[in-house]
Amino acid sequence: MKIRIGSRGSALALWQAEHVKGRLQPLGHQVEVCVITTTGDRVQDRPLESVGGKGAFLKEIEEALLAEQVDLAVHSLKDVPTQLPADLTLCAFLERADPRDALLSTSGRPLDQLAPGSRIGTTSLRRRSQLLARRPDLLVADLRGNVDTRIRRLREGAFDAIVLAMAGLTRLGRAAEVTEVLDPGVMLPAPGQGAIALECRRVDSALATAVGSLHHEATARAVRAERAFLAALGGGCNVPLGAFAAPQGGGFHLSAFVARSDGSEFLRGQRRGHDPDTLGRELAEALLARGAAALMGR
């Protein structure tokens, strides 16, 4: 089968697309990677939420899928909204890499030992709220750009530290630059963080079958719980929230939070269960009952 993969042009996106290509070619498929520039890549001078949130990294790729210009999209799952276009579907989830966040600091100090007033770079409201809740004495500033750009700005002295996803750093061979890997108890990941998702046209059953051997069911079940929480809460890029489902006894232990972006108010919750969809929905309902809607500005 000939498969055209649509991908953003960043080093990480291309690594992921080439990784999928490298797994499909030995199965006899002809695979081509097609680079597509998205709104999120093109507009770098404004906060991400002002240009459509994380969905800004998918819009043009999904349009190319619908127009049959490409056949398969490879995404970082944490960037994928819970609501997809009606004619598209997530057809496979690859085995999850390290879901945690990582701190890189110029001083070599971990988060709790950074000097008061240290300038921390992140574009994520989720990371901002957790940083300020733990260290209200830090200055958290917006930092857009791909992994290389963010690390370069750190090395140039624009920031004292930055926070990035550990999975991306590992995939790009930059894990050795990490000062501290942040435990989920300190920095809860985004729903789906560390997982790669494949998206295709809903009617393309032959392609879904072709990529089926790449699917990792344990990852799929864990991220279903996290995304069920996100969907039931109605949250997205504009809301500081996190969720992580850790395997436990054949089921999952789901931890989640909703907060104000300045970290001044926090709602945390956890729940255990076996059915991912029920687990995520029930934890979201529990946090909504405790006032999560007010924190989300609704």
Tokens of 248: 């436990």
The residue assigned the tokens 């800004």 is 56
Mean pLDDT computed over every residue of the chain: 93
Q: Calculate Rg over the CA atoms of the chain.
A: 19
Cβ neighbour number for residue 113 with a 10 Å cutoff: 12
CATH architecture of the domain 101-182 equals: 3-Layer(aba) Sandwich (3.40)
pLDDT one-digit tens code per residue, 157-186: 999 999 999 999 999 999 999 999 999 999
pLDDT at 149: 94
Tokens of 199: 């998206």
- Is residue 101 part of the annotated active site? The answer reads no
The residue assigned the tokens 């930092």 is 143
Cβ neighbour number for residue 267 with a 10 Å cutoff: 19
Tokens of 161: 């530290």
- Please tell me the distance from the alpha carbon of residue 101 to that of residue 245, in angstroms, as a whole number: 15
In this predicted structure, the answer to whether residue 220 has a pLDDT above a threshold of 50 is yes
Average pLDDT over residues 221-234: 95
pLDDT at 234: 82
- Please tell me the distance from the alpha carbon of residue 183 to that of residue 51, in angstroms, as a whole number: 30
pLDDT at 50: 46
pLDDT at 51: 44
Least confident piece of the model among 40-44, 185-189, 263-267: 40-44
Please give the DSSP secondary-structure letter assigned to residue 212. Answer: G
Predicted confidence band of residue 40 (pLDDT cuts 50, 70, 90): low
In this predicted structure, the answer to whether residue 148 has a pLDDT above a threshold of 50 is yes
- Please tell me the distance from the alpha carbon of residue 35 to that of residue 92, in angstroms, as a whole number: 21
pLDDT one-digit tens code per residue, 203-216: 999 999 999 999 99
- Sketch the domain layout of the chain as residue ranges: 2-94+195-215, 101-182, 225-295
CATH of domain 2-94+195-215: 3.40.190.10
pLDDT one-digit tens code per residue, 246-284: 999 889 999 999 999 888 899 999 999 999 999 999 999
**CATH class of the domain at 225-295:** alpha beta
- Please tell me the distance from the alpha carbon of residue 81 to that of residue 46, in angstroms, as a whole number: 20
Domains 2-94+195-215 and 101-182 share a fold: yes
Average pLDDT over residues 208-237: 92
Predicted confidence band of residue 298 (pLDDT cuts 50, 70, 90): low
CA 33 to chain centre: 22
In this predicted structure, the answer to whether residue 225 has a pLDDT above a threshold of 70 is yes
pTM of the model: 0.92
pLDDT at 236: 58
In this predicted structure, the answer to whether residue 59 has a pLDDT above a threshold of 90 is no
Note whether 225 and 252 are within 8 A (CB): yes
Of the residues 71, 79, 98, 101, only one is catalytic, namely 79
- Please tell me the distance from the alpha carbon of residue 118 to that of residue 111, in angstroms, as a whole number: 10
Share of the chain above pLDDT 70, in %: 93
Residues 6+ apart with CB under 8 A from 67: none
pLDDT at 274: 96
In this predicted structure, the answer to whether residue 194 has a pLDDT above a threshold of 90 is yes
Predicted confidence band of residue 47 (pLDDT cuts 50, 70, 90): low
Closest C-alpha to 78, from 168, 181, 142 = 168
Predicted confidence band of residue 144 (pLDDT cuts 50, 70, 90): confident
pLDDT at 123: 87
256: β partners: 243, 269
